[in-house]
Amino acid sequence: MIATLDGAPMIANARMYSVTPEVGALWRRLFASVLEKADPAVEIVEHAPPAPIAELWARPDKAAVFMCGLPQSLAAPRPALVAAPVPSPASYGGRACYWTDLVVHVDSAFETLEQTFGHRLALTTPESQSGFAAPLHTLMVHGGVRPLYREIVAPAVTPLGALSAVIERRAEVAPLDSYALALLQRHAPTLTTGVRVVARTVPTAIPALVASGAASPAIAAAFLAADADPQARALMAPLLLARFERPEPAGYDALRHRFETVRAFWKTHPLAETVHPSFAL
């Protein structure tokens, strides 16, 4: 069955994990390989920075679009879960999960997250699980009557932006989506050698492919079977992707509940002396 909205093709997009132009091209080739078997009419669209990613997520014609789990859990109506990626590095244990890596400049003296307190923190966007909610959840155990950081700087927007903020010394510490960082380490090693990981948050449900309205069973099945196809599997290898699996809704519900706890906590505990207005809770 061809997925359409008022006669126009539905869309697919991998903006979230297109960490470099070359990686973006790999995702487009993979999506084309998978979708030609399920629904060749789906249009693989571009939505590169600086176009706001929230505009992509708000589109009513999504057939298979990577979406951060936090805004997916908070949206009304909620986009349907289609398929979740399972990263191939051994640290993921064959699970559709990810975490946030807190990074500092490779030449800095920081060895622990606690040593970064009193300095500058770069977050991505307030709707991000890995770039906002996860690090704030991890920092809750350290919250008290005094601010933890001197400043929360302007939004870094993307994992690459967060990485650049630390490398260019506009911030001393920043959160990075672990899967995005792994892709950058594979495809842009000259950038990632400029930072070190000093802390890691607990694993949570990884951003999934989502659809507007009901997910297409044919499209979901095609992604779930992608690792059995030699052509798709060859494209998945450089994307550090073992397979796709059926997402567990409870894992995304948990993100919403945790975010509510995080917001309530930081409304009564100072995170930083100066907070960029974008991150006001």
Residue 160 CA to residue 16 CA, distance in Å, equals 11
Alpha helices in 67-209 (DSSP H): 69-74, 134-139, 159-167, 178-187, 189-192
| Domain architecture of the chain: domains with CATH | 4-91+206-247 (3.40.190.10), 97-204+256-279 (3.40.190.10)
Query: 33 vs 29, 215, 235, CA distance in Å?
Result: 6, 19, 9
Residues in the chain, pLDDT under 70 = 1-7
Q: What is the DSSP string of 40-54?
A: TT-EE----TTS-HH
- Strands 149-152 and 272-275 turn out to be parallel
**pLDDT value of residue 34:** 98
**pLDDT value of residue 5:** 62
Q: How many CB atoms lie within 10 A of CB 209?
A: 28
Convert the pLDDT of each residue in 157-191 to its tens digit: 999 999 999 999 999 999 999 999 999 999 999 99
- The tokens for 252 are 């995304």
Residue 131 CA to residue 159 CA, distance in Å, equals 8
**pLDDT value of residue 8:** 85
- The tokens for 215 are 């997910």
**pLDDT value of residue 281:** 82
Phi-psi region of 102 (alpha: psi -120 to 50; beta: other; left: phi over 0): beta
**pLDDT value of residue 4:** 57
